[in-house]
Chain A
Amino acid sequence: MTENKANENWEPKIVAFVCNWCTYAGADLAGISRIQYPPNVRLIRLPCSGRVNPFYVVKALQEGADGVLVSGCHPGECHYLTGNLSARRKFAILKRFLSYIGIEADRTMFTWVSASEGEKFANVIKGVTERVKALGPATKMIKTL
């Protein structure tokens, strides 16, 4: 994933871990409603935001993602009742920790998008893409071997 990084036409690659029940459905809604959003995001569907092992985020960064997004159901609306509540704790710590060691805070983003929020999904992707673009290509902790 190291190609084209210095290029001025550089476009960020963003990995998004989304839950099956809310955010993925939200993305679907954005799609069928024909709402435009930047094509920089690669969605990975998981059962729940609670299923997102913090390691996935770190791994994605190591493999060269310029930004990582994790999104699930709003608190209180989890399909598995509390999966996103334990996820919230993990990611509160993870986000602080990654920025503490010097990885820009905007490279790891967390949000909630419900199945009815197609509009919000598109805005989240726009927002995240803009922020990651502003940071430029990721250079830290990238595996080159």
Chain B
Amino acid sequence: MENIEKQVREEARKLLSEKKVDALVGYEQGTLPYQAAPCIITEPEEADRLVWNPFCSVNLAKYVHDLIFQHRQSQTRTKPEDRTKKVVGIVARGCTTRSIVIHLQERQYERDEVVIIGVPCTGYIAKRKLFRALDGAEPLSCVVEGDTLKVESAAGSKSIPIKEILSDSCLTCRYNNPVISDINVGEPAPPMNPDGEYDDVDAFENLPTDERWAYFTKEMDKCIRCYACRNTCPSCYCKVCFVEQSQPRWVGVSVDESDTQVFQIMRIFHQAGRCVDCGSCVEVCPMGVDLRKFLKKLDKDGFDLFEHRAGESLEDPPPLGAFSTYDKEDFIFEP
């Protein structure tokens, strides 16, 4: 871990001092001991701010898109021939690189506008699980020692095996090593347990219809429509999201629970073939809505119907951006 961190800083410094990138997105120590926050650095001296540890949770690909688009926006009044490109570097684990693949496939930016420092990943700590392990006590300091996390809290000190508090997305991750990269640091990480990937979805599918609806409504009732899930999602980069569109107004903003359900159905549906299961939405959700249960279903169907795994490779087009005459059509109603 420390070794990877050192190498990440080294590579970042090199990229910035050789001017190969204009800005670099990585993680830095957050304001709380159990937090690593996204950071954007532009000077080689700042490379020492970067960290790499199991608290690095949110998917950074979103920031690459944001930076590139902000830069483009700032040039709308520049003559086309005078416009410049900015290159963004990024510290990326498996899921982050898959999100970049999606951006590239959807022609958001060119491959030469991003420099990827690929990092092997052994999973990140889900904050909710950490708090559960501490019975809700606020951690005052956290130290990673090999496979355990030593936590000091008001309730005393405790050692927690990291494996027990990893995010659900990480436990069944299929791509914990980068799928594309320009620079690789560290040795490839050992595989997680992708075989159990759809166990949750399978179990849910087998419940009676009304129980599934009851679970869906119970989860969506928690949602306060803060849109943090959308804001953190690298696949949610639309300039104007449907939830803010007012001509026509797609989804109401009343307290009627159906409005929230419709918002969720549509946001989740927009991730069909595009959700890389990085778990960022679940991680940032203040209300602990079980979004993964529903997003994972799309992932499962994407593979089942179109043999597609989101962001797996640049050559494999997004399933809803393609079609085949031989697509399954067993759902078509024949009277």
Contact A92 B258 (CB under 8 A): no
Are A58's CB and B212's CB within 8 A? Answer: no
State which residues 293-335 of B face A: CB under 8 Å.
294, 297-298, 301-302, 305-306, 319-320, 322-325, 327-329, 331-335
Q: Give the interface residue-count category, chain B.
A: 35 or more
Contact B269 A101 (CB under 8 A): no
Q: Is B209 an interface residue (CB 8 A)?
A: yes
Q: Is A39 an interface residue (CB 8 A)?
A: no
Please state if A89 and B320 are interface contacts (CB–CB under 8 Å): yes
**Which of B214, B216, B258, B322 neighbours the largest number of chain A CB atoms within 10 Å of its CB?**
B258
Which of A91, A140, A144, A145 sits near B213, CB closer than 8 Å? A140
Q: Could you tell me if B335 and A123 are in contact, using CB atoms closer than 8 angstroms? A: yes
B266 near A55 (CB under 8 angstroms)?
yes
Closest to B297 in A: A100
Which interface residue of A88, A90, A100 has the most chain B CB atoms within 10 A?
Answer: A100
Check if B155 is an interface residue, CB within 8 A of chain A.
no
Q: Which of B210, B306, B332 contacts A111 (CB 8 A)?
A: B332
- Of all chain A residues, which has the CB nearest B250? A55
Indicate whether B1 reaches chain A with its CB closer than 8 angstroms. Answer: no
State whether A120 touches B335 (Cβ < 8 A).
Answer: yes
Chain A residues 105-145 with CB under 8 Å of chain B are 109-112, 120, 123-124, 126-128, 140-145
Measured CA separation A13–B92 after assembly (Å): 51
- Is B205 engaged at the interface, CB distance under 8 Å to the other chain? yes
Question: Which chain B residues lie closer than 8 Å to A90 at the CB level?
Answer: 272, 320
A94, B270: Cα distance in complex, Å = 10
**CB nearest neighbor in B for A109:** B333
Interface contact B213-A102, CB-CB below 8 Å: yes
Instruction: Known A76-B325, A101-B294; judge A89-B319 contact (CB<8 A).
Output: yes
Which one, B262, B269, B334, contacts A62 given CB within 8 A? B262
Q: Are B323 and A93 in contact (CB under 8 A)?
A: no
Which residue on A lies nearest to B329, using beta carbons?
A: A88
CB distance from B220 to the nearest CB of A (A): 9
For A47, the chain B residues whose CB sits under 8 A away are none
Query: A11-32, CB under 8 A of B: which get 1 and which 0?
Result: 0000000000000000000000
Q: A145–B268 Cα gap in the complex (Å)?
A: 24
A93–B305 CB distance below 8 A: yes
CB of B254 within 8 A of chain A?
yes
A41 interface residue (CB < 8 Å to B): no
Distance in angstroms between the alpha carbons of A85 and B331 in the assembled complex: 14
B216:A102 contact, CB within 8 angstroms: yes
Point out the residues of chain B lying under 8 angstroms from A62, CB to CB. 258, 261-262
A123 to B261, CA, bound (A): 33
Assembled-state Cα–Cα distance A104/B11 (Å): 53
Given A75-B325, A102-B213, A145-B254, also A92-B305 (CB < 8 A):
yes
Ordered by A's residue number, 24 sampled pairs between the chains whose C-beta atoms are within 8 Å are A54-B269, A59-B250, A62-B258, A62-B262, A76-B325, A88-B327, A89-B306, A89-B323, A91-B331, A92-B331, A93-B305, A94-B269, A97-B269, A97-B272, A98-B265, A100-B204, A100-B205, A100-B297, A101-B265, A102-B212, A124-B335, A127-B333, A145-B254, A145-B256
4 additional contacts (CB under 8 A) given A58-B266, A93-B302, A93-B320: A75-B329, A92-B331, A97-B268, A102-B211
Write the residues of chain A forming the contact surface with B, with a CB cutoff of 8 angstroms: 54-55, 58-59, 62, 69, 75-76, 82, 85-86, 88-104, 109-112, 120, 123-124, 126-128, 140-145
